Structures are given as structure tokens and as C-alpha cells.
Structure 1
């Protein structure tokens, strides 16, 4: 199912696949959320004006996908900078160090 399509549903086990290159959109950016890509001028402008940004939308979507799991959750994140993703999700407190593994 799509990330948006699972809202309101629950499953015993959930695997979330994250790949901005395959998403073909501009409303969401996991690479920005995870600190891999810089914020755009539009992101900065919207932040300064208190408006919704692609990072805000992505954070909410990430919550939706992760909160569908009743028992276990696995997240596969494709990125050009996996170490930055790992660092960000640990610094944010979303995951413990032992829960994040980089597979090459």
C-alpha cells in the first residue's frame, strides 16, 4: 500500500520502504527530513511564515506509516547518505543506536 493509503489501518507487522527517487513527487521528502538534502528556498520561506513545509508533511507521513505497526516495525530507507540518515533518526530519538543498521 502507499504511505498515504495506510492511514487509519493497523497491522501486526509493518515494513515501510522509503525511497524519494521512486516517489516521483515534491510534496514529501524523506531525504530532507533525515538531513540528507538541504531545505529549499521555499521551505525556508514557509518556515519563516509559519506555513506548512515538505518536511512537516513528510514528518506526519512518517508518523502515519510507523504507527500502523501493532507488534513489529521495519523501515528500509534508500539514501545516498545512509550515515546521515542513521545519525538523524538517532539524534531525533526516533530510534536507538541498536535499532539502526546500515546494509551495503
Structure 2
């Protein structure tokens, strides 16, 4: 029997493609807040939603590491699921932040 994470399944990829960026965002936000309380970083001179925007993009990019791992194993259905989840997250990101950026 194949372990669940080693299966080539679209739904596995879609679920992991949503879960990994959520975990990465929470981790990055925690690190950023820790550095902010230590006085290492500050938001002075940036847009009010700069932190959320940037950390969201970095979290979505965490799927690239996951896709590379499954590409080496030739699990193309799982990659399709991860890619669809990534495109969904990028669409949501653009809907929330992209229109504001394009307005100027």
C-alpha cells in the first residue's frame, strides 16, 4: 500500500496546494511580528497593506518547492492539483490587492 502523500492524485495536490501556503503564511507572519517587536523591522514608509501583500505572495510561492518535489517523482496529477490551487490563490490575491495596486 502506498502512503497517502506518495499517491499521484489531483485532490491530494489541491489540498496540499491550499494547506502549504496557509502554514507558510502563518509561519512568515509570526516571524515578521517577532522581528517587529524586537525592533529589527518597521512599516515606516511602506503602504499599509505591504506586509500582508508580500507575505501572501511568499506563501503562495511555497507551492513551488512542493511542485518541484512531486515533479521529481513524476506525479503529474498531484502537480496539476497544486497548480490549480496556486492559480486560485493568486486570483484571490489579485482580486484583493492587485486592483488597488493598478489604480495607483
Answer yes or no: same fold by TM over 0.5.
no
Task: Name the TM-score, length of structure 1 as normaliser.
Answer: 0.30
Bigger relative CO (Cα 8 Å, ≥ 6 apart): 2
Larger strand share, 1 or 2:
1
Larger helix share, 1 or 2:
2
